[in-house]
Each structure stands twice: as C-alpha cells, then as structure tokens.
Amino acid sequence: MMERMEPFASTLDLQTGVMNPASQVLRRYLSGMSDLYADSSAAQRILAEEGVRLIYEVYVVDVPEAEGQVLHSTTIIYPGRIGQEFHMTKGHFHVKRDRAEIYLGLAGTGALLLQTDDGIVRSVEMRRGAVAYVPPLWAHRTVNTGDAPFAFFAAWPGDAGHDYASIEQQGFAKLLVSQDGRAVLIDNPRAR
C-alpha cells in the first residue's frame, strides 16, 4: 500500500531555474564527465588551465523514487564549449525504458538530443516556453547552445530510474558543435 504524503509546493524562479526548497543540488563538473566530450585534448587543456569547471546543476525536489510518484527537478547548464562542442548533460536512458518525460524550457537557448538503442538521433530546439516530450525508449541529453545559462524544468515517473552506463559506453552518434557562430549537429567521430 502506498503511504499518504502531505501536498506541498516548491518555488521555481522562472528566470534562473533555481528551485527552493530542493532536497539535493547536484553539481556536475568537467572533471567528472570529460570522457563524454569528443575533443579529449580540449577537455584536458581546460582542466589543466582552469582546474574546476562547473558544467551544470540539478535542483531536485524531494519526492520518493517510487511507482505512482512524479519526480521533478530543474537543470541549469552554464554556457561554454569543450573544443567546439557545447556544454551538455551526461545523458541517460531510463532504467525502465518505457517511461517518458516532459521538459519545459525556462531561460536561455538549447537543444534536447535524443537517441534510440539502435543509434537513431533527433534534436529538438529548446527555449523559454518550449514544452518538449521525451517519449519512452529514447535516451536524452540537453545542450546549451547559447551564451547565457540554459534552464529547464523536468517531470518524469517516479520508478523510471537513470541508466547512465549505456551512454557512457556507446556515446551519442551526433554532437552539437559551434560552427561559424551557429549550432550544428554533426556525426560523432568517436561514435561506437
């Protein structure tokens, strides 16, 4: 039997994406995800020169990770590039592959990159007010393609789970890179 919870609200700053209260704020640094970027020498150079580079933050609301619940969070990806590749999230499949997700763009500009198990890739533009649907079966990663922080809200089923290992191993078949001042989707030279 499901335990009854008290209703509650969090406050979301619609300009910045900061959520309050948040049970956790996850901070992802380049040092913990440098292998995900195609240009590993650019990543090593930045680490040597800057020491620490914050790529993104996730504000997680305190909801049990269980069937029937709706987990929700906001993500803020800071602007920047590793070589030509824009700052991005690690990306994941849901452990339960048939669980979907909704993203709502709040600030800045970016893209939602999606990939199937057999390597089909799609890209959806994200900006304030864009409501993006991540259907079941698609891995998803977000990318900041602009010069300002890119923030979005996400909601997904409580029993979905995050599978990061598959993306760490296989990578995304496409990359979002800056070319002549534009965001361009290219083939990943390191795709496995």
Q: Which entry of ligand PA5, Ni ion, none binds 115, CB below 5 to 8 A by partner kind?
A: none
Nearer of residues 134 and 183 to Ni ion, judged by Cβ? 134
Nearer of residues 95 and 120 to ligand PA5, judged by Cβ? 95
Q: Which of 81, 89, 101, 149 binds Ni ion (CB under 5 A)?
A: 101
Spatial distance between the Cα atoms of 169 and 160, rounded to a whole number of angstroms = 20
What single DSSP character describes residue 147? S
Nearest to 123 by CA among 87, 75, 181, 176: 176
Sheet holding 121-126, edge to edge: 121-126, 110-115, 139-144
Beta bridge partners of 178: 183
Q: Residue 75 interacts with ligand PA5 (CB under 6 A)?
A: yes
Provide the mask over 86-115, with x wherever binding to ligand PA5 is found by CB under 6 A and - wherever it is not: ---xxxx--------x--------------
Nearest to 91 by CA among 192, 149, 174: 174
How many residues bind Ni ion (CB under 5 A)? The answer is 1
Binding stretches for ligand PA5 (CB under 6 A): 58, 73, 75, 89-92, 101, 140, 142, 154, 156, 162
